[in-house]
Amino acid sequence: MLKLISLALLTLFSLFAEAQINMLVKEGGFLFIEGKDSVCFYQKNQKVSEEGKYQRCNYIHPLYGLDNTRLTEDFPADHLHHRGIFWAWHQILIDNLQVSDGWELKSFSQKVTDLEFRQLKGIGYLNTTVDWSSPLWESGEEPYLQEKTSISMYPKNGNYRRIDFEIKLKALTDRLRIGGSDDEKGYSGFSVRLKLPSDVGFSGENGSVEPVNTAVESGNFVKIDGSFLKSGKKGGVVMASNPQNPPPSNSWIFRKAASMQNAAYPGRQPVAIPFDEPLVLKYSLLIFTGDMNMKQIKKALK
């Protein structure tokens, strides 16, 4: 259910104000804007590939740069299951039996059951409730997990904009666990599928980081920069994992081409989701033009 409390008035009056995030209802989901600039699009309705496969919803695409460049990809030819900004896990287990692969969208269904948008001091807050289910558990008739996610979108500040994600995963059955890929990579979790330029680079608090096959440690954030913007202009995205996240919170998988960028949690070994308390994961993105130095990044993430 979409809660439209004061939404009509919000939209009417806020269109005449500056430095505010507003929401527009569009086919398939919701477009978030600041003035005439697009910020991002939340995909609420189910989408499938041209072959009718890889059904997905509940993700962000496109993510826009400050110059309205589309930064993300959906259904890329090399990995059709990749989708903009998404959070998903390869291993979803109940009683040690795999019931879903949320990463590759196998035996995995999501349904957005509630959605609310509100605005406070120019910041746009999107709150969603999403049920996860599988035909391999209760014949798909009952969800095994409820996700509550809050996405906070800030007006641009100089050469960057900040977007925060708080993802709460609550088990609806006992003995539910999630984990990354069952190999040495252990990838899964919060991910961004960017359109990668040939000069893409990665750096953390201690300088440049080179992608390898497995996860690397790069502190709680990584800057991804290069010729991301229109006409080859420089820009990029900072991905940050909140220090309050359960460990490992500084494990990253990077790729220079044909893949996603991933805050790899929890890794290969699955972790339990408590029945009586949700697992809470927090991440942030800084979308920037030009460059951001380490001092600026740390200040922006406070």
Domain that holds residue 107: 2-191+253-284
**Tens of pLDDT, residue by residue, the chain (302 residues):** 555 444 444 444 444 456 899 999 999 999 999 999 999 999 999 999 999 999 999 999 999 999 999 999 999 999 999 999 999 999 999 999 999 999 999 999 999 999 999 999 999 999 999 999 999 999 999 999 999 999 999 999 999 999 999 999 999 999 999 999 999 999 999 999 999 999 999 999 889 999 999 999 989 999 999 999 998 999 999 999 999 999 999 999 999 999 999 999 999 999 999 888 999 999 999 999 999 999 999 999 99
What is the rounded CA–CA span in Å between residue 70 and residue 62? 6
Q: Per the confidence metrics, is the pTM higher than 0.85?
A: yes
What is the rounded CA–CA span in Å between residue 105 and residue 83? 11
Q: What is the mean pLDDT of the chain?
A: 94
Q: How far is CA 182 from the centre of its chain?
A: 22
Torsion-angle region of residue 44: left (phi > 0), alpha (psi -120 to 50) or beta?
alpha
Which helix H or strand E contains 13, and what residues bound it? helix 7-14
Number of domains in the chain: 1
**Domain assignment of residue 292, yes or no:** no
**Domain assignment of residue 215, yes or no:** no
**Domain assignment of residue 302, yes or no:** no
**Domain assignment of residue 72, yes or no:** yes
What is the rounded CA–CA span in Å between residue 177 and residue 122? 38
**Domain assignment of residue 33, yes or no:** yes
* β-pairing verdict for 221-226 and 235-241: antiparallel
**Domain assignment of residue 26, yes or no:** yes
**Domain assignment of residue 291, yes or no:** no
Task: Look at the block and give the residue holding tokens 């081409």.
Answer: 257
**Domain assignment of residue 148, yes or no:** yes
Q: How far is CA 300 from the centre of its chain?
A: 19
